[in-house]
Amino acid sequence: MSDTIARGASRVVAAGRSNDAPKRPGDQDSDNDVLPPHGLDIISATIAGRAWVIHVGQSCINARYWPLRVCDVTDVFARLRDWLDREGVVYRHVQHAPTRTSEESAQARGEELRVGGKALLLRVDDSFRLFVLSAARKLDSTAIRRRFNARHTRFATPTELLERTGLVPGSVPPFGEPLLPFELYADPSALENDRIAFNAGSLTDSIVMAVVDYKRLASPVAFAFSLPA
């Protein structure tokens, strides 16, 4: 684990053509024709420490043809860091090995589990919304359905998350607009501590910042939607 400063955006070169795409004039069969990386491929690669990224909300993942191309990426981590710096926020950036659970993240940051802000993208009826709660608690989906008078709630699938944010599960920071294109809601458990810690658009980068600064920047709508774990 180390505390360092890093900036910049990432790009990935993708080559090949999807197997079910019709051939174009002059196309030839080739062993080099490959499918673009999809959700599980990217998640597996990220956990293994390989950086795969795609164009946010764009058709790279659904492209009918895959000629050699560069997919520009909106780097959530870099944008978040720039935003915090512009606002004069004091924060701690922790670089660590890839973490898959809230418990692993808390240990890597040297923070209590309750300080962790767990950001969950849910589909509430026909809309995607972002919910943040303490990593020491669990989601109360009944409270969410009641709040929005909704019939159905479910977690976004890895592919839905990837298509809308360019992120993999476990890496979503607890920010909605303008960083991520969602309305943001926070459970009181995420706001009752002096600080909040979270993965910052990466499984290997965490941010720890004061809750007062988090509330000022994120401006979440607060209501209770958690239960004891």
CATH of the domain at 160: 3.90.960.10
Give the residue-averaged pLDDT of 174-185.
97
Cα Dmax for the chain: 63
Contact between residue 92 and residue 207 where contact means Cβ atoms under 8 Å apart = yes
From the number of C-beta atoms within 10 Å of its C-beta (0-12, 13-18, 19+), residue 95 rates as middle
Compute the distance between CA of residue 38 and CA of residue 210 in angstroms, rounded to an integer: 36
Contact between residue 190 and residue 209 where contact means Cβ atoms under 8 Å apart = no
Max mean pLDDT among 33-37, 70-74, 223-227 falls in: 223-227
Compute the distance between CA of residue 132 and CA of residue 10 in angstroms, rounded to an integer: 26
Query: What is the reported pLDDT for 100?
Result: 83
Which of the residue ranges 16-20, 100-104, 187-191 would you say has the lowest mean pLDDT? Answer: 16-20
Counting residues of the chain whose pLDDT is more than 70, the rounded percentage is: 68
Comparison of pLDDT for 55 and 132, the residue scoring more: 132
Phi-psi region of 224 (alpha: psi -120 to 50; beta: other; left: phi over 0): beta
Q: Flag whether 182 is in a domain.
A: yes
Asked whether the bond before 188 is cis by omega within 30 degrees of 0, the reply is no
In this prediction the pTM is: 0.71
**HSE-up of 169 (CA within 13 Å, CB side)?**
15
List residues bridging with 198 in a β-sheet. Answer: 207
Residue 22 has pLDDT above 60, yes or no: no
| Closest C-alpha to 49, from 6, 100, 14 | 100
Contact between residue 221 and residue 184 where contact means Cβ atoms under 8 Å apart = yes
First to last CA, the chain: 27
pLDDT grade for 178, boundaries at 50, 70 and 90: very high
Structure confidence by residue, pLDDT tens digits, 72-117: 334 899 999 999 999 999 999 999 999 989 999 999 999 999 999 9
Query: What is the reported pLDDT for 145?
Result: 98
Comparison of pLDDT for 197 and 5, the residue scoring more: 197
Give the residue-averaged pLDDT of 35-61.
42
Contact between residue 160 and residue 123 where contact means Cβ atoms under 8 Å apart = yes
Phi-psi region of 141 (alpha: psi -120 to 50; beta: other; left: phi over 0): alpha
Residue 38 has pLDDT above 60, yes or no: no
Domain count along the chain: 1
Residue 16 has pLDDT above 60, yes or no: no
pLDDT grade for 221, boundaries at 50, 70 and 90: very high
Query: What is the reported pLDDT for 1?
Result: 63
Residue 20 has pLDDT above 80, yes or no: no
List residues bridging with 58 in a β-sheet. Answer: none
pLDDT grade for 2, boundaries at 50, 70 and 90: low
| Closest C-alpha to 225, from 71, 101, 80, 122 | 122
Give the residue-averaged pLDDT of 195-213.
97
Q: Flag whether 165 is in a domain.
A: yes
Domain housing 180 = 76-228
Give the residue-averaged pLDDT of 120-147.
98
Q: Flag whether 21 is in a domain.
A: no
